[in-house]
Amino acid sequence: MRSAYGRTIPTEDAALTRVGPGTPMGEMMRRYWQPLLLEGELGDGLPKKVRILGEDLVAFKDKSGRIGVLDLHCPHRGTSLEFGRIEREGLRCCYHGWLMRADGRVVEMPCEKPGYAERMDISQPAYPVHLFGGMVFVYMGPPDKMPLFPMYDIYDTRHRDDVAIVARRLWGEHAIAFVSACNWLQHYENVVDPWHVVMLHRAISGDQFASAVTRPEMPDLGFERTSLGVRYRMIRDLPNGNRMIRYVECALPNLALISSIHETGETPKAKNLCTDVSWVVPIDDTHCRALTLIAWPLKSGAPDPRWIPGTFTEIEARPGRIRERSYKERQSFPDDLEAQETQRPIAIHALENLALSDTGIAMLRKCYRDGLKAIERGHDPPNIVRDPAQNHAIATNAWITVLGPGEIRGAAE
Q: Which residue lies nearer to Fe ion by CB, 12 or 336? A: 336
98 binds, among ligand FES, Fe ion, none (CB under 5 to 8 A by kind): ligand FES
Mapped onto helix, strand or coil, the DSSP state of residue 3 is: coil
Residue spans of alpha helices (H) in 94-135 = 116-120
Interface with ligand FES: number of residues (CB under 6 A): 9
Query: Is residue 336 at the binding interface for Fe ion, with CB under 5 A as the rule?
Result: yes
Q: How far is the CB of 53 from ligand FES (least distance, A)?
A: 24
Contacts (CB under 6 A) with ligand FES, residues 66-95? 74, 76-77, 79, 93, 95
Closest-CA residue to 69 (of 77, 61, 27, 108): 61
Q: How far is the CB of 111 from ligand FES (least distance, A)?
A: 8
Query: Is residue 51 at the binding interface for ligand FES, with CB under 6 A as the rule?
Result: no
Residue 257's DSSP bridge partners are 249, 277
Q: Of the ranges 50-58, 245-253, 299-307, 330-338, which one interacts with Fe ion (CB under 5 A)? A: 330-338
Residue spans of alpha helices (H) in 154-255 = 184-189, 194-198
Interface characters, 97-126, with ligand FES (x: CB under 6 A): xx----------------------------
336 binds, among ligand FES, Fe ion, none (CB under 5 to 8 A by kind): Fe ion
Q: Which residue lies nearer to ligand FES by CB, 72 or 93? A: 93
Q: DSSP states of 322-367 as a string?
A: GGGS-HHHHHHS--HHHHHHTT-SS--GGG----GGGHHHHHHHHH
Q: Of the ranges 96-104, 181-189, 312-320, 400-408, which one interacts with ligand FES (CB under 6 A)? A: 96-104
Pairing status of strand 220-225 against strand 163-168? unpaired
Closest-CA residue to 184 (of 10, 370, 321, 26): 26
Would you tell me how many other CB atoms lie within 10 Å of the CB of residue 206? Answer: 14
Interface with Fe ion: number of residues (CB under 5 A): 1
Query: Is residue 60 at the binding interface for ligand FES, with CB under 6 A as the rule?
Result: no
Residue 87, C-beta contacts closer than 8 angstroms, at least 6 positions apart? 62, 63, 99
77 binds, among ligand FES, Fe ion, none (CB under 5 to 8 A by kind): ligand FES
Would you tell me how many other CB atoms lie within 10 Å of the CB of residue 156? Answer: 16
Q: Of the ranges 78-86, 116-124, 336-344, 363-371, which one interacts with Fe ion (CB under 5 A)? A: 336-344
In the complex, the residues that contact Fe ion under the rule CB under 5 A are: 336
